[in-house]
Amino acid sequence: MKKSWGVLVVLSAVFVVLVGCNIKEGNGKSDLQTGKDVSSFDPYKNDPYKKSESRTRQGTSSFDSYEKSESQTVQSVSSLSPDSYEVDDEMSLAKEVGVGETQNRNLHVSTDIDWIKISTMRGKYYIVSNNFGTSRGYLELYDAAGNQKILTNGFTSTLAIVGDGKVWYVKVSSHSVPLSYTVTLEELKPDSYEVDGEMSLAKEIGVGETQNRNFHVSTDIDWIKISTVSGKSYIVSNNFGISEGHIELFNAGGNQKAFRYGSHPTLAILGDGNVWYVKVSSYSAPVSYTVTLKEVP
C-alpha cells in the first residue's frame, strides 16, 4: 500500500513538472479569460494586500488535470463532516461572515460548494482572505445581482471589495476535496496619521522622515504639514506604487501653489520660515503610499 502511494506521489511530481512546462510555454488562456467579463472591475489594481499567488494565471486545461490527480490522492485518506455553515451550496443559502471574523469551514464532499455573504457599507474597503492550507481552492466574487466579478485560485487568496452598501457573495470550491479552510473578513484600517482630512488637522512630517499612509475609504484625503526654514529647499516625494495619486502644495494662507499627479510625484518647496501643507488624494483607492521629506543640500 505504501509503495503505491509513493508511485502516485512521484507521478504527481512528474505531472507538476510537465504542467509547469506547459505554463511556461503559455497557451494564452487564463482562468480570468475563460470567466465572465471582469475587465471593468479590478480592485486588485491598487490593492495593497494583493498577493501575487492569488492572481496567478494558469493554463486552464492542464491545471485542471493537475487538480484532479491531486484530489484522487487526498480523497481516499481522509473524510470530513459538514462544517457548521452547511447547507450553503447556493447563493440564496449563503451564510454571513462579519468584519473581524474568521470562520473555519470545509469542503466535505466533492460536490460541496460554500457560499459566503458579506454586507458592505458604502465607501469602505473590505479584504476577504482564504487559507486552503496545502490544497488549492477557487474563490469567486459575485455582486448582489449574481454577476461574477473576480475568479482567483491558490493556496491562499485575497479579494478586495469596494463597499457599495450592498451584499456581496464569495463562492468557494476546489478540486482537492475534502479540505478544511478558513475565511477571514477585514476592513481596511485607517493609517496612524488619521484624522487628517482638513488642512487644520494636518500631521507633521520631519526632514529625513518617511511615513506609511493609506486611503482607507474612498473619500479619504490626507493633509501633511511641513515646517520650513528660510533659505532652505525641500523635496516632498510620494510613492503610490502601482497606483497613482495627486499631491497639492498649499502655503500657510491656504493658496494652492503647485500640483503633481502620478505614481511617484514630487514637489519642491523653497523654505520661507513658514509652515507649508501638502494635500494627498487619489481616484484609485484602496491604496497604500509613502511620503518622504528631504532637505536639498
How many residues interact with Ca ion (rule CB under 5 A)? 8
Q: Residue 28 Cβ, how far from Ca ion at the closest point, in Å?
A: 34
Please pick, from the candidates 31, 67, 112, 248, the single residue that binds Ca ion as defined by CB under 5 A.
Answer: 112
Q: Residue 112 Cβ, how far from Ca ion at the closest point, in Å?
A: 5
| 89 counts as binding Ca ion under rule CB under 5 A | yes
Please pick, from the candidates 191, 234, 245, 278, the single residue that binds Ca ion as defined by CB under 5 A.
Answer: 191
The one-letter amino acid code at 1 reads M
Q: Residue 53 Cβ, how far from Ca ion at the closest point, in Å?
A: 23
Note whether 288 and 217 are within 8 A (CB): no
Residue length, the chain? 297
| Nine cell digits for residue 168 | 456581496
| 222 counts as binding Ca ion under rule CB under 5 A | yes
Q: Is 47 helix (H, G, I), strand (E, B) or coil?
A: coil
β-pair type (203-204, 222-227): parallel
Which residue carries 487559507 as its cell? 131
* Nearer residue to Ca ion within complex by CB, 150 or 224: 224
Cα-Cα-Cα-Cα dihedral sign, residues 241, 243, 244, 245: negative
| 244 counts as binding Ca ion under rule CB under 5 A | no
| 140 counts as binding Ca ion under rule CB under 5 A | no
User: Is the link from the previous residue into 87 a cis peptide, with omega within 30 of 0?
Assistant: yes
* Nearer residue to Ca ion within complex by CB, 114 or 244: 114
| 114 counts as binding Ca ion under rule CB under 5 A | yes
Report, in angstroms and rounded to the nearest whole number, the Rg of the chain calculated over CA atoms.
24
The one-letter amino acid code at 281 reads S
Identify which range of 53-61, 66-74, 146-154, 213-221 contacts Ca ion by CB under 5 A: 213-221
- Applying CB under 5 A, which residues contact Ca ion? 83, 88-89, 112, 114, 191, 220, 222
